[in-house]
């Protein structure tokens, strides 16, 4: 009964539930862990699909964990900066100087984070 | 006949008591409608009566009488009654308009801030998460509707309780409760007694959302514990606009108790007393309308267009 009801819920509500679980956890979660955290009748494949969709939207990020991925919410302030940075870069024709100047202004913490993001991407 | 204009000013003082009775005796969603419609009607009658009193006083002044093309003096009860009443009405109306405009301005600004804050963050479905150590959650009306929840709130609830919280906030958005709250706000600025009714309307909106969420999840106890826990976690002030329904407004213990109590079936006779508020409203509107119609007739007479 409960399984059927959970699977039939609108996609937006399922996304919200998964997102809430990720925020509440405060650490990257694998689809299996998210399913366990939700404690609902959602199938693991459904959870994985939702996570992929959220990742495509740029709402969550992921890192490799074992053979799969672990997902975590995009932190809002850095996420914002990243997006602003992107539009700034797209607007300016002289991409390289902008980039060079930008990197020079990074604090050690920012740099570390950039590296980790780059490593997580490939 | 000018005395009829006083009835819409006095009757709203009965509204708080009758309103609480209405909420107590009716299903919350129905009570919300009855309460809001009554509050608006009472407020409307009150403003109309005040307006008529102000005009009566103004037309007593020669300059305004000339402006109104009065050829005879306006027939009214003793000037000792009409002039102070008109002055008081002018003061009250001015004060009402001033507080209303100020409140509207503040609410709009708070709403815009909340909305831009929500729009700026990436949303998953209708959920918008704000990183904050203050537990808070609210339904944000607009296009599209959003549920705004802080990380502290998410972390203080279990998975099932989070779903209960979301169901509650979605119920607010689906039923358009922000319109009811805005109407209550408007009414509260028209008559001081309607401030207590505004509180009852807010409470009715929370109860209606609780019941809708309980029906959706099929678990009244779960909703009750979620509300209690959210309230305990979120005992801090927040900056949300007053008409965005929050998860923890209203007397929380009452809401929790109502959810834990078995669904009551009310006898027909007690349900009838719920409509005393409606009767009071109808009386007030009728008196106000009769008073205004009479005033209009007197003005026509004074203008020499109608026989006395």
**Shortest alpha-carbon distance between residue B223 and chain A (Å):** 16
pLDDT top residue among B113 and B98:
B98
Quote the longest CA-to-CA distance of chain A.
Answer: 60
Helices (H) and strands (E) in chain A, counts: 7, 2
The model's confidence at residue A104, banded by pLDDT at 50, 70 and 90, is: very low
The model's confidence at residue A117, banded by pLDDT at 50, 70 and 90, is: very low
Please determine, for residue B248, whether its predicted confidence score (pLDDT) is greater than 70: no
Structure-token match 């919410």, residue found: A73
- Specify the pLDDT at position A88: 52
Q: DSSP of B132-171, one letter per residue?
A: -SS--EEEE-SSS-EEEEEHHHHHTS-HHHHHHHHHHHHH
Please determine, for residue A119, whether its predicted confidence score (pLDDT) is greater than 80: no
State whether B122 and A58 contact (CB < 8 Å): yes
- Specify the pLDDT at position A97: 36
pLDDT top residue among B246 and B141:
B141
**Shortest alpha-carbon distance between residue B143 and chain A (Å):** 15
- Specify the pLDDT at position B124: 75
Among A71-85, B248-262, B293-307, whose mean pLDDT is lowest? A71-85
| Closest in B122, B130, B154 to A20, CB measured | B154
pLDDT tens per residue, range B116-158:
777 776 667 788 887 777 777 888 877 778 888 888 888 888 8
Mutation for testing the B interface, residue in A8, A10, A21, A23 having most B CBs under 10 Å? A23
Distance CA B34, CA A36 (A): 44
Q: Enumerate domains of chain A plus CATH numbers.
A: 2-73 (1.10.10.10), 76-121 (no CATH)
Q: Find which of A97-106, B14-23, B76-85, B263-272 is predicted with most confidence, using mean pLDDT.
A: B14-23
- Specify the pLDDT at position B245: 65
Mutation for testing the A interface, residue in B116, B118, B121, B125 having most A CBs under 10 Å? B125
How many other CB atoms are there within 10 angstroms of residue B77's CB atom?
A: 12
Mutation for testing the B interface, residue in A24, A53, A79 having most B CBs under 10 Å? A24
| Closest in B125, B127, B160 to A39, CB measured | B160
- B207: Cβ contacts below 8 Å, ≥ 6 apart: B23, B28, B31, B250, B255, B258
Q: Taking an 8 Å Cβ-Cβ cutoff, which residues of chain B contact chain A?
A: 120-127, 129-131, 147, 149, 151, 154-155, 157, 159-160, 162-163, 166, 170
Please determine, for residue A75, whether its predicted confidence score (pLDDT) is greater than 80: no
- Specify the pLDDT at position B199: 86
| Closest in B120, B125, B155 to A12, CB measured | B125
Closest residue in A to B149 (Cα–Cα): A20
pLDDT tens per residue, range B22-80:
888 888 888 899 999 999 999 999 999 999 989 888 888 888 877 877 777 777 777 77
* Cβ(B307)–Cβ(B301) below 8 Å: yes
> Distance from first CA to last CA of chain A, Å, rounded?
42
| Mean of pLDDT over chain B | 82
- Specify the pLDDT at position B243: 63
Please determine, for residue B2, whether its predicted confidence score (pLDDT) is greater than 80: no
- Provide the 8-state DSSP code for B129: E
Among A16-25, A105-114, B182-191, whose mean pLDDT is lowest? A105-114
Assembly ipTM? 0.71
Distance of CA A25 to the CA centre of its chain: 13
Residues from chain A contacting residue B151 (CB–CB below 8 Å): 23-24
pLDDT top residue among B307 and B63:
B63
Pair of tokens at residue B153: 């709130």
Q: What torsion do the CA atoms of B233, B237, B243, B244 make, to the nearest 10 degrees? A: -40
State whether A57 and B124 contact (CB < 8 Å): yes
pTM (two decimals): 0.78
Question: What residues pair up with B128 in beta bridges, in sequence order?
Answer: B148
State whether A12 and B126 contact (CB < 8 Å): yes
Q: DSSP of B210-237, one letter per residue?
A: HHHHHHHHT-HHHHHHHHHHHHHHT-S-
Closest residue in B to A10 (Cα–Cα): B125
Please determine, for residue A49, whether its predicted confidence score (pLDDT) is greater than 80: yes
The model's confidence at residue A92, banded by pLDDT at 50, 70 and 90, is: very low
| Closest in B126, B155, B159 to A38, CB measured | B159
- Specify the pLDDT at position A110: 46
- Specify the pLDDT at position A7: 61
- Specify the pLDDT at position B287: 92
């Amino acid at each position: 009964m409960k399984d059927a009801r959970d699977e039939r819920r609108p996609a937006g509500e399922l996304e919200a539930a998964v997102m809430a679980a990720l925020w509440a956890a405060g650490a990257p979660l694998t689809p299996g862990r998210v399913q366990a955290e939700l404690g609902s009748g959602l199938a693991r494949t459904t959870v994985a699909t939702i996570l992929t969709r959220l990742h495509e939207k740029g709402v969550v990020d992921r890192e490799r964990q074992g053979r799969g991925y672990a997902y975590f919410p995009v932190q809002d302030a850095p996420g914002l900066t990243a997006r602003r940075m992107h539009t700034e870069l797209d607007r300016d024709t002289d991409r390289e100087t902008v980039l060079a100047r930008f990197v020079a202004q990074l604090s050690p913490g920012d740099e570390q984070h950039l590296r980790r993001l780059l490593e997580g991407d490939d | 006949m000018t005395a009829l204009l006083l009835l819409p000013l006095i009757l709203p003082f009965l509204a708080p008591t009758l309103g609480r009775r209405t909420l107590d005796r009716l299903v919350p969603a129905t009570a919300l409608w009855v309460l809001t419609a009554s509050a608006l009607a009472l407020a409307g009658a009150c403003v109309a009566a005040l307006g008529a009193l102000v005009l009566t006083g103004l037309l007593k002044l020669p300059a305004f009488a000339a402006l109104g093309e009065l050829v005879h003096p306006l027939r009214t009860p003793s000037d000792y009654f009409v002039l102070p009443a008109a002055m008081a009405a002018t003061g009250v109306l001015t004060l009402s308009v001033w507080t209303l405009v100020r409140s509207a301005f503040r609410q709009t600004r708070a709403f815009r801030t909340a909305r831009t804050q929500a729009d700026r963050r990436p949303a998953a479905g209708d959920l918008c998460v704000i990183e904050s150590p203050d537990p808070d959650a609210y339904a944000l009306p607009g296009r599209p509707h959003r549920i705004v929840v802080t990380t502290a709130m998410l972390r203080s609830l279990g998975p099932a309780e989070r779903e209960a919280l979301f169901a509650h906030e979605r119920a607010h958005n689906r039923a358009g409760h922000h319109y009811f709250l805005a109407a209550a706000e408007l009414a509260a600025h028209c008559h001081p007694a309607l401030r207590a009714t505004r509180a009852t309307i807010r409470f009715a909106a929370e109860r209606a959302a609780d019941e809708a969420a309980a029906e959706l999840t099929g678990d009244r106890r779960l909703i009750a514990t979620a509300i209690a826990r959210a309230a305990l976690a979120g005992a801090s002030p927040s900056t949300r606009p007053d008409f965005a329904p929050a998860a923890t407004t209203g007397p929380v213990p009452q809401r929790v108790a109502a959810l834990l109590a078995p669904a009551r079936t009310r006898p027909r006779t007690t349900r009838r007393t719920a409509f005393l508020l409606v009767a009071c409203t109808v009386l007030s509107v009728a008196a106000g309308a009769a008073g205004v119609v009479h005033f209009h007739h007197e003005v026509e007479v004074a203008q020499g267009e109608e026989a006395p």
